[in-house]
Structure 1
Amino acid sequence: MLIGYARTSTLDQKAGLEAQVRDLKAAGCEHLFVEQVSSVNVVQREKLAEALDFIRTGDVLVITKLDRLARSVQHLMELLDTLTKKGASLNILGLGIDTSTSTGKLMITILGGIAEFERGIMLERQREGIAKAKAAGKYKGRKPTAQAKADEVIKLRDEGMGASAIAREVGIGRASVYRIIGDRAAG
Structure 2
Amino acid sequence: MLIGYARVSTDDQNLALQKDALNQIGCEKLFEDHISGAKSERPGLEQALQYVRKGDIIVVWRLDRLSRSLKDLIEMVTSLESRGIGLKSLQESIDTSTSSGKLIFHLFGALAEFERNLIRERTQAGLQAARVRGRKGGRPKALTTDKQALAVKLYGEKEHTVGQICEMMGISKPTLYKYIESAKGK
Taking the aligned partners of 2:11 and 2:106, their CA distance within structure 1 comes to: 30
**Alpha-carbon contact 1:4-1:29 (below 8 Å) kept:** yes
Amino acid at match of 2:10: T
Amino acid at match of 1:22: D
Matching of residue 10 in structure 1 with residue 10 in structure 2: yes
Tell me, what secondary structure is at the counterpart of 1:105?
A: helix
Fraction of identical pairs, as percent: 45
Kindly name which structure, 1 or 2, has the bigger radius of gyration based on alpha carbons: 2
1:102-142 CA deviation, whole Å, 9 max, x = no partner? 3212323555768xx9xxxxxxxxxxxxxxxxxxxxxxxxx
Corresponding residue pairs, total: 112
Aligned pairs for 1:145-160 within 5 A: none
Aligned pairs for 1:169-184 within 5 A: none
Aligned pairs for 1:119-138 within 5 A: none
TM-score by length of 2: 0.56
Q: Quick one: which of 31, 36, 39 aligns to 2:37? A: 39
Query: CA, structure 1 residues 110+36, in 2 after alignment: closer, same or farther (shift >3 Å)?
Result: farther
Computed over aligned residues only, the root mean square deviation of the Cα atoms, in angstroms, reads 1.9
For structure 2, which runs of at least 5 residues remain unmatched after alignment?
116-186
Offset at residue 22 of structure 1 (A): 0.6
Matching of residue 55 in structure 1 with residue 52 in structure 2: yes
**Alpha-carbon contact 1:99-1:105 (below 8 Å) kept:** yes
Offset at residue 94 of structure 1 (A): 1.3
1:92 maps to which residue? Answer: 89
Aligned pairs for 1:98-117 within 5 A: 98-110=95-107
1:83-102 CA deviation, whole Å, 9 max, x = no partner? 11221100111122110123
TM-score by length of 1: 0.55
1:68 maps to which residue? Answer: 65
Taking the aligned partners of 1:10 and 1:106, their CA distance within structure 2 comes to: 33
Tell me, what secondary structure is at the counterpart of 2:87?
A: strand
